Every structure is written in C-alpha cells, then in structure tokens.
Structure 1
Amino acid sequence: MTSQSATLARLSKLSRLISVDSPSPLLKHVPTTVALLLAIVISLASPSLGVSQPPAFVLCIAIGVASVALAVWFTHRGTDSRMVTIVPLAALLAIAFLRVGTGGTSSLFSALIILPVIWIASEEGRRWIFVAGLGTAVAVMMPFIVIGELPSEGPEWVRGFVSPLVFTAVAAIINEISRQNRVQLKSIRALAEDLESSLADSVGQATQLRRSADELQKANELTNSVLDAVTEQAIIGTDLTGTITVWNPGAASMLGRTAQEMIGHASILELHREDELENRSRELNYPPGATVLNPGFSALVESARLGVGEIRDWTYRRSDGSEFPVEVAVTPRVNSVGTTRGYIFVATDITQSVEVSRFKDEFIGLVSHELRTPLSSILGYLELMRDDSDSPLADEQKLYLGVAERNAQRLLGLVGDLLFTAQTSAGGFPLKVDDISPGDVISAAVDSARPIAETAGVHVEMEGLPSALMIRGDKSRLGQAIDNLVSNAIKFTPRGGSVCVGLAERDDDGRVEITVRDTGLGIPAAELDQLFTRFFRATTATANAVPGVGLGLVITKSIVQAHGGELDVSSVEGEGTVFTLRLPQDAARL
C-alpha cells in the first residue's frame, strides 16, 4: 500500500508539471537576452567590431531592456494572452538595430535573428509562421530602412529575399514540431490523468477490499465462536449435494465423529435411516414423470428449498451404530446475492422428550382405561334408574338424571379420545379397510350435524358428491375424522354463517380431496403451526368460549395419516377456515 501511495504522489506531481502548456515568458526570453547581452559586450569590448552607428546601438540596448521588462511583467501576471508575443517581436527589433549599429548588412550578429523567430514560430497557429517571416524580413532590411536607401548590389537584394524565406521555412518546421509536441503533451497529460484516476480507484478498491476482508474475517471468527459455543445442538452444513462442509463441536459430541472425519468426506445421508428417507420421499408426492437426482437428500431439504421453514423429527445414527431421535431444523445457506449454496441442519437430541412423552401417553392410556369401566358402570346404572317401572322417577329427578347422563357421556367421549391419542402415539391403531364411498361418509356426517347446525343457526351444505367415486379405507374412522371437522366448523361459525363440505377427484395425482369450508372466526396465522398439537386451543376459541379440549384435530390428522393421506389448513382470522383432506384411492396404510 505504501508503494501505491508513492506512485500516486509521483503521478500527481508529473500531472502538475505537464499541465503547463508552455514555459514562462521570462524563461523563454532568457536565450535571446543572453545572446543579445553578449553581442553588446563584444561590440563594446572589441575595437575591430566597434560600434558604427551609436544611436542605433543605444536604441538596440533600450529596446532589449524593454523586452526583458515586458517578459518579467508577463511572467508576473501569469497571463497566457497572445500579447506576450510582443516580447520576441521587441527582441527581433532590438537585433535589427544591433545590426544597424554594428556594421549594417555586414554585421556579424545577423544569426541572432533565429532566437526570437523560434519563439514566435512555436506559438499555436499557422499565422505565426508569416509573422516570423515578416519580422525576419524587417530585421534583415532594417539597415536599408534606417538610411532610406534601397540595396545597390545584387547580393544584397538576394540576401534581403533569401534570408527571410529561409527563416520562414525554419519557422514553418518549428511551428509544425511545436504543434505535434502540443498534441503529444495533451495525450500524455490525459493519459497521466487517467492513470492517476485509475490508480486512485485501485487504491480505493484495495482499501475497500481490505476492509471487507477484515470484516469477513471478523464475521468468520464470530461464526466459528458461535458454532464452537453451541454444544447441546449439532450444527451441520452441507453443499447442494449433501456433502458435509460444517461440523460443530456439538455434532462431534452428539454423533461421536470428528470434524476431520466428516467435512468434505461424508454425506448427511449417512446419519439417517433409509426407511425414514423413503417414507418422506413418498410424502412429497413428486409430479408424475419428474426426475429427482438425489431423492434421499431432496427428502431432507425440499421444504427449505421451496422457502418453507421446516422442523421435523428424524432418527440419527451414531458412529457406533446406535440410534436416537432428533428434532432437525433445516434452512438454506445463501450467498450475498441470495443464491442457495447449501443447507444448514440444526439437530437437537430429543431422547429425553420422547421418553417423557411415552410415559405421559402410557399414563393417559392407563388412566383412560381405568376410567372407562366405572363410567360405563355409572351410565348403566343411570339407565336402569331411568327405566325402572317399579319405582318411577319424578320429573325433577328425571331432569337431574339427564344432566348426570349427559355429563357422563361427555366424559366417556373424552376418555375415548384420550385412549385414541394414546394409541396413535404408541404406534398406531387398527383399521378395518374396505371399499367405501366417501360421498356416503360425508352425507352421513352432515346429516348427523344438521340438528346441531340448525340450533346454532348455521347453514350446512354439500357440493360435488360423485356417487361412483370409491376409495379404500376404514369407514368408521374416516366418518369420525369428517365428523370432527364438520362439528368444529359449526362450533366456530357464528349464527347466520355457513359450512360447506365438498368432494372432488384431483386430476394431477388421482387423489380424493375433501374440503370443509366455513365462514367462521378463523385462526390467527401465528397459531396455525400449533393447531395439530394435543390440548392446544386457538385464541379465537378461548376468547369466544367455544367448548372443546383440543384433541379433535389431533385425532383427525392421525386418522388421515393412517390412510396415507394429508390434512392441510388455511385460514384468515375473522373470515373463515378451510380444512383440506387428501386421500389415496388405492389402499390405506395399516
């Protein structure tokens, strides 16, 4: 950087020097002044050359001094006016009178004429050639002009014409050389300015590059410090093909493999179970005929590639072959222009959480199972009391008995839901698979919900129920799922609203699509991700005192997934909600 600055300084100095179009008038007049002074001294000191015409000699000295004074004045003013050519013209006149005063036409100082001629001819413009020629003619013919006579001899006439012509030719040559020098000078100056500007830009870019490099180094140091500080999570980075490029100490501790072993040598797929990757690939439902070069890696990053954040549970494999559950968040790794260069996987060991959840499910299952028997007994005895003809109940007693029976039935339904969720968490539940008509299942669910809907003032309708459409599934479980969606839609729709249940067959993949659309309260966008979590209730439900315990959607999603389908939701708060249930037509997963 020091050498660049020094070079820039030298170029700047050179630019200032060559930016002056010509030397100062005084500097240009120095050769003529010195030559004229020497001629005067020689004339005064040498008797053989003596002064033949003292008045002309004195006039020569006076004009010479005046020319020097003019040169000093023009230099001091710093003007570049063409008036400065008065100085060489005055010098030319002084030389002319010097010739008159030192022998006239035979003067030995005629050669001095060339000095002011050079100055005049070097000025910009062709006209100065003629000015130099005319001035030369005057200087040569001055002896005859002073005495008022014409040349009497032939050589004098020849000298009077030839000498000016020769000086004019010399002036033309000098003028052309000066013109070319000015052109070259301008080119050199422009080049020097360009070089100076380019070097200044280069220095600026180098400074910015060094600053950027320093910032990048600091950012890398900060990133490495953060990665090294995270020891409870495994942070793993890959390129676009799945090759590992980042491996933090948390990954080394969790998986028992060092960064040297993994970075640049191993694939992220080595940490996963093949069956989980295959199942995820099937869930992605690539379009028919689509070519997926790396289906295993695509199963991991497809959502992140599409710009959708995803947190998913996987099973990782340690270096010793043991396996454990992890929760993995996947995000794309982009460069400064937004191009994806790879992916970041942040994995958290959830072994303890899974164990706690398993114990909780076992406890719920145990408690629910133990509650079912006494509840069934209570309902049985309540029914006996109500139907006992030997000891009929009073109307008030029947009212109380009805309240107790309804609450017992409600409690029994809740116990059933708890048992069902415990079954799904424990690894599934049995399905009675058969050929069923989804239209019939929907009609039955809507017919069952109509009394409740009419009481709530909600209009329920169906659309697009092709009777010929058949699928493979458990009619009872699918009916339960649709019942849950329809009852939820009615509960969340204010009086005067509507609920529409639709059925269609998709053309792209042949799946059956069931939609339940309402014009109800809607669900806040920030809560959609938690909607299928057990016991979760949206703020719109709690704020409007909508009854429920937060298990219906969990059960519905489990039933849909057990049939190899998907359940999606979209909602706008205050406008309504749409649940979309997609099922394959061929076979359910048992």
Structure 2
Amino acid sequence: MTLDRWLSRLPLDSPSAFMKQVPTIVGFGIAVVIAVLPNGVPITNTSEFVAGVVLVAVASVLSLVVPWRRFAPEWAVVVPTLSLLAVGLLRLGTGSSASPFVVLTLLPFVWIASEEGRINIVIASLTTFVVLLAPLVVDGATRSVGDVVRAFFSPVIYLIVAIVINELAHRMRVQLAAAREAGERQETLLAQAVTAQDELVLNEARLKTANRLIQSIWNAVTEQSVIGTDLDGLIDVWNPGAEKMLGLTEKQVLDGRHHITDFHLPSELAERLQDMDARFTTVATTDEFSALVDTVRAGSADVRDWTYVRPDGKRVVVQVAATPRLDENGHRVGFIFVATDMTEAREFARLKDEFVGLISHELRTPLSSILGYLELLRDDDEDPLSEEQLQYLAVAERNAHRLLRLVGDLLFTAQVESGRFPLDIKDVELSSVVSASVESARPAAANAGVTLVAEVPDHTVAVRGDTLRLGQAVDNLVSNALKFTPSGGTVTVALRSDGSQAVIAVTDTGIGIPAVELSQLSQRFFRASTATRNAVPGVGLGLTITKAIVTAHGGRLDIASEEGVGTSISIVLPVETPAAVTGAIPRVEVTP
C-alpha cells in the first residue's frame, strides 16, 4: 500500500500539502544525520541548528493536520515558507555561508514558486533572499567582494527561476484543466454513445419485431389482394392475396413491370372516364389510370366495384378500396388498392334479385285483386257504405296502392339488375315533364311547409326518351328533396339546356348527406345516415331507379351535397338520340 493511499484513509483534509512537504522532511533528515555523525558536517551553532529542526518539524505537522483545502489556496504557502526559513537556520547552525546544506533551499523554493499566482514569485524570491543573505548579517565577519556579489547575485537567479517555474506550472495547470475538461467531455460523450448504442440496439430489436409482425400480417392476407403502385400506376407491391386472385407471383409482376391498368377491363375504365366528363376518344395509359385514382388525388378514399382480368382471361368481380400511399413526411408517393372478391356476393345478389322479382310478381296479382274489390265496395250503389266505413276503406286502399308502388319498384330494380327493362322511345319535351312533376308534388310540399320552385325556360328543351320513365325519375328526385327538407326550406327544380345536353337539377336546402356516403347513394336499399337519424321514411330504392333510368337514356346522374346545407342532384341527358336507347341496355352499375 502506497503512502498516499494510506494517508487518504486518515481523517485529514489536505494530505497533498503533507505530500509536498515530504521531500523537505527527507532532505532535513539526511542533513541532520550527516551533521550528527562523527567526521560529518560540524554543528557551529547548536541553538540555530535545533531551531531549524524544530521549525521544519512544526511546518511538517501543520502540513499534516491543518485543513488547507478549507482555506484560500495562497495560505498553503505558509508551510514551504516556514520550511525555507528552517533551511536558513540549519545553514546558520552548520557553518553559515560555508554550510553545504544550502541546496535544501531548492525544495521549499520550488513548492512556493510553483503555486498559482504571481505573488508566490515574490514570496519565494524574498524568502530565498533572506536565507542567502542571513550569513552576511549574522556572522558580521568581513567578506570578500566575491562573497558579497555571490550573495546578491544568487537571489536574482532564484527570482528568474521562480518566474520560469511559476509560468511553467501555470501553463501545466491550464493544460491539465483543459485535459481534464476534455476527459470529462469524452466521458460524457462516451456515456451518451453507450446510451445511444443501447437505444439503437433496442430500436433495432423493436424494428425487427415490428417487421416480423408486419410480414406475418402481410402473408396472412390471402383473401384480399393488396396492390401498391407509384404515382404513375407502376406496380411495386404485390401481396399473397393478389397472387392468389390474379395468378401471378410477386417476382413475375415486379420483374415484368406491370401497370395496374393491365388487370382492368378497358370498357370499365372508359365508362368511368365518361362519368368524369373526360373526352371519350383514344384513351392513353395515364388517362386510364386517372379513372382509378381521380377521387384519391382529390383527397378522398375511393371504394368502387371493378372487374379484374387474370392473365388466363378469367374475370374476377371485385370491390376495390383505393387510398393514397404516403412517405414518412406525409407526401403522397403512390397508391394502394385493396380488392375483395365479390363473385360469391354478386351471385348471392343475383339469386336475391330473382327471388325479389318472383315474390314481387306474385304479389302484384293479389294486390290488384284487393284494389279491385276495394273499388267495388266503395262504388256499390245498392248497399252504400257508411261514412266511417268509407274512411276505413280509404285507409286500406291508400296502403294497398302504396304496397303496389313498392312492388312495382322492386320489379323495376330486378329488371334493371337483369340488364333489360322496357322503354317507349319517342320525342320528349322536358318542360312538360318537369312542370307535371312540380304540380304533382305541390300538395306534399304544402303539407311539409316547403317552398317548391320551378325554373323552366321559355324555349323548348327536347330529348329522345321514355316520357313515363323520365317523369318517374324527376318525381323520385323531387319526392326525396321534399322528404329531406325541413319545414321552411326550399326545393328548386330547374331545367336548362347546356349545349348538347339537357340538365334537370333538383336542389334543396335540406339536411344534406355526408361526403363519405355519396358514392353509395344509388345502391339498392341504402339510406344515408342523416335519413336514419332524422327518421325520414323510405326504403332506399328511389335513386337506384332514377340512376338506372338516366343511364338507360345515355345520361348521367351528378350528385353534390353538404351535410346541414343541402343537396343538388342533376339529371344530365344528351339532346341527340342516344345510341343505347333501344329498350335493351347493358347491365346497369348501381354506383354513381
């Protein structure tokens, strides 16, 4: 065990002061031994010799027991100053200026000169000056000129040495402080690096776990195809569900640089472009892709029915949810298409349509019979009914007519779904159709407290079509607008000619429809959430029938609505004879 470690265990405040004193103690010990030995350095003045030994002992004890760290740093030089004076006494007691122990002066001198502060240069120089000049003063003997010069020249040299030592010690302290600060910074940086490394390892483990989880989920999605594309529609993501649905592996698709439109029916894309008011000429690839993502580019998710085409030519009816694909900064870098196979659902819907058509057809005959007998009872002159009985009969007749209309609507939707329903094509003057619908709806508008306004131009607006069916379509829109408009609101039915198109717009100030539900409005039996919340009566067939009629006439149905503000639905019809109006129409989609 070293002395320093031993001293560090003692209840001392500043063992460093004592450690600095140790060289002086050792030097004095050697000098005392030499002085007391026979034939050693003679002791010329015992009192001064003993005083020097006592003084250095006192300085040593002070260095050991005094808590120097609790005082200002300049107080610590008391110990080497006393030691330096003790060297002077030792020198006087062992031959004065001829004493060989003058060399011990260097030990406390270096200590004082190396302490921080320029004042210690002065202390070291003055104390050394006293020690070196003391023999000249105390002895009183005549000295040669060389002794005098040496006595005064030596302190000057000590002064220069003190300055050098103090400066070197100062620079060493500065460098040591800088090195210590750099070491502390390095330790801090090392600790931060270790912490960052630990966090990196932890995050890497979490990332691997998350990647394994995502990969497991990705591989488990086999019933829905998930296809990702860049902004131009080039496929770069292909999940196992897509492989199962479309019969191509991920490697085949990515290596072949397939485009998402490669798996769509061109006719469906073209029809969608028509609905978007695109120019229906030769369609470029980018235009076809726009048919898939136009709604998504506008900022909304899009759920729509499409038909996928496999490489072997087999067709798969799917419902596709298209959403934007974002990077870590929230910027759109592509699109995601999640498709669900609707083949079984469509088959179920077909069977349901057949069932509905069959039941509706079977219901018409007894309903017609019921209405006929009710009419006979009402018109029986031989046995007239009482006033109360006529009221009961009117209620039964009104509900029977309502049920018959519902059966008729169900039959019509079944005909639409089968792709064929009858149309009586002739010239139709739309002003009379709109006026008739408005006049028919005025009693209902008055009862509901809604203002019904007709805006019909003076000039003739004519199209080729079925008067009865077009009137039915306008009636449906006006009826819906009245049902969804609270008392005090307004419903406006406007007819206008727009170039090669005729437009019938029905606008209300009603409860409106949420934007996310607009794409589902023309689905059979669908009712908007605002309708169910406000308990508006209906079964959800009116817009389905209206969309089918308008599509059969080569037109389109435009819907715009804002919840709490109102709704505007426009029937847009071609003024020229539509090629599709022949009574036999292609299958009518039920999404707007």
TM-score (norm: length of structure 1): 0.80
Change in CA separation of 1:125 and 1:543 when aligned onto 2, cut-off 3 Å: closer
Residue 534 of structure 1 corresponds to which residue in structure 2? 524
Q: Deviations over 1:526-562 (max 9, x none)?
A: 8766543322445776787754332112222334555
What are the residue-to-residue correspondences of 1:182-261 with 2, within 5 Å? 182-261=173-252
- Note if contact 2:503-2:573 (Cα within 8 Å) is conserved in structure 1: yes
- Note if contact 2:430-2:463 (Cα within 8 Å) is conserved in structure 1: no
C-alpha separation in 2, matches of 1:359 and 1:252: 29
What are the residue-to-residue correspondences of 1:263-302 with 2, within 5 Å? 263=254, 265-267=256-258, 268-284=260-276, 294-302=286-294
What are the residue-to-residue correspondences of 1:144-163 with 2, within 5 Å? 144-147=136-139, 149=140, 152-163=143-154
Residue 7 of structure 1 corresponds to which residue in structure 2? none
Residue 15 of structure 1 corresponds to which residue in structure 2? none
Q: Deviations over 1:452-510 (max 9, x none)?
A: 222343322246x6656969674745543332122122234455544344578999xx9
Change in CA separation of 1:410 and 1:186 when aligned onto 2, cut-off 3 Å: same
Give the match's secondary structure for 1:550.
coil
Q: CA deviation at 1:451?
A: 2.3
Matching of residue 583 in structure 1 with residue 572 in structure 2:
yes
What are the residue-to-residue correspondences of 1:82-101 with 2, within 5 Å? 82-101=74-93
551, 554, 561: which is aligned to 2:544?
554
Query: How high is the sequence identity, in percent, across the aligned residues?
Result: 46
Look up the equivalent residue of 1:551 and give its one-letter code: L
C-alpha separation in 1, matches of 2:138 and 2:273: 116
Look up the equivalent residue of 2:170 and give its one-letter code: R
Structure 2 unaligned regions, length at least 5? 1-13, 581-592
Residue 348 of structure 2 corresponds to which residue in structure 1? 356
Residue 52 of structure 1 corresponds to which residue in structure 2? 44
- Note if contact 1:51-1:102 (Cα within 8 Å) is conserved in structure 2: yes
Of the structure 1 ranges 100-109 and 453-462, higher mean CA displacement relative to structure 2 is found in 453-462
Q: Deviations over 1:309-338 (max 9, x none)?
A: 332211122342311101122333445543
What are the residue-to-residue correspondences of 1:424-439 with 2, within 5 Å? 424-427=416-419
What are the residue-to-residue correspondences of 1:349-388 with 2, within 5 Å? 349-365=341-357, 368=360
C-alpha separation in 1, matches of 2:39 and 2:495: 135
C-alpha separation in 2, matches of 1:545 and 1:209: 57
C-alpha separation in 1, matches of 2:192 and 2:36: 63
Q: Number of paired residues?
A: 557
C-alpha separation in 2, matches of 1:134 and 1:511: 118
- Note if contact 1:435-1:470 (Cα within 8 Å) is conserved in structure 2: no
- Note if contact 1:471-1:585 (Cα within 8 Å) is conserved in structure 2: no
- Note if contact 1:333-1:344 (Cα within 8 Å) is conserved in structure 2: yes
C-alpha separation in 2, matches of 1:85 and 1:207: 50
Look up the equivalent residue of 2:213 and give its one-letter code: L
Q: CA deviation at 1:194?
A: 1.9
Q: Deviations over 1:113-162 (max 9, x none)?
A: 22222211222222221222111111111223434x48643222212221
Q: CA deviation at 1:512?
A: 5.5
Of the structure 1 ranges 537-546 and 250-259, higher mean CA displacement relative to structure 2 is found in 537-546
Q: CA RMSD in A?
A: 4.2
Matching of residue 165 in structure 1 with residue 156 in structure 2:
yes
C-alpha separation in 2, matches of 1:27 and 1:589: 114
- Note if contact 2:550-2:573 (Cα within 8 Å) is conserved in structure 1: no
C-alpha separation in 1, matches of 2:364 and 2:269: 39
Change in CA separation of 1:424 and 1:81 when aligned onto 2, cut-off 3 Å: same
Residue 309 of structure 1 corresponds to which residue in structure 2? 301
Residue 322 of structure 1 corresponds to which residue in structure 2? 314
What are the residue-to-residue correspondences of 1:392-431 with 2, within 5 Å? 394=384, 409-427=401-419
Give the match's secondary structure for 1:321.
coil
Give the match's secondary structure for 2:158.
helix
Of the structure 1 ranges 349-358 and 47-56, higher mean CA displacement relative to structure 2 is found in 47-56
Look up the equivalent residue of 2:548 and give its one-letter code: S
Q: CA deviation at 1:112?
A: 2.5
Matching of residue 131 in structure 1 with residue 123 in structure 2:
yes
Q: Deviations over 1:377-424 (max 9, x none)?
A: 887898899999xx7884769888876765565444334422332233
Look up the equivalent residue of 1:324 and give its one-letter code: V
Q: CA deviation at 1:308?
A: 2.2
Change in CA separation of 1:435 and 1:152 when aligned onto 2, cut-off 3 Å: farther
Change in CA separation of 1:585 and 1:168 when aligned onto 2, cut-off 3 Å: farther
Look up the equivalent residue of 2:217 and give its one-letter code: V
439, 442, 445: which is aligned to 1:447?
439
Look up the equivalent residue of 2:74 and give its one-letter code: R
Change in CA separation of 1:469 and 1:190 when aligned onto 2, cut-off 3 Å: farther
C-alpha separation in 1, matches of 2:137 and 2:425: 137
C-alpha separation in 1, matches of 2:517 and 2:267: 31
Residue 518 of structure 1 corresponds to which residue in structure 2? 509
